[in-house]
Amino acid sequence: MMRTSTCALVILLSIVTAMPRVQAQASHTATQSAIDAALQAHVSSTAADRADLLRVLANPEVKAVADKAGLDLRRATTAVASLDGQDLATLAAQARQVDEALAGGQSRIVISTTVIIIALLVLILLIVAID
């Protein structure tokens, strides 16, 4: 009789101590729709970053700077497809700066924009060469 009571008490205590853990785990799970929304936001952000990079690389003034610097713009354009993560985000931010400078009505590229363009192209090529 004593042994049965002890076993029942052990089982009851095990259940009581396990319950808060199960409830805590359940409260931290994300719904499928939240996961889908986060994934879609990431895909959209990545696509927008790639589009920004490609738009800047297609700019005739950027092509002229790349030619003068002896950089292969076709290779850089092809490399954009393999970029991801922080590298893509950093390069896209630099590309937006170049795009804003060129769209801002500047009739010619100033030194700082030229440096950004060259750095952008070199970074793209280096990142792809390392990977």
Return the pLDDT at 5. 60
Cβ density class 97-106: b for 16+ within 10 Å, e for less: bbbebbeeee
Please name the residue that has the structure tokens 């769209």. Answer: 103
Please name the residue that has the structure tokens 């805590």. Answer: 24
Q: How far is CA 84 from CA 21, 30, 77, in A?
A: 37, 25, 14
Average pLDDT of span 42-63? 87
Q: Which of 21-25, 97-101, 127-131 has the lowest mean pLDDT?
A: 21-25
Q: Which of 3-7, 20-24, 68-72, 86-90 has the highest mean pLDDT?
A: 86-90
Q: What is the mean pLDDT of the chain?
A: 75
Radius of gyration of the chain (CA): 27
Return the pLDDT at 27. 53
Confidence tier at 29 by pLDDT (50, 70, 90): confident
Token couple for 69: 């610097």
Return the pLDDT at 1. 55
Strands (E), 77-125: none
**Choice between 111 and 74, residue whose per-residue pLDDT is larger:** 74
Residue 121 pLDDT exceeds 70: yes
**Cα dihedral value 64, 67, 68, 71, nearest 10:** 130
Residue 123 pLDDT exceeds 80: no
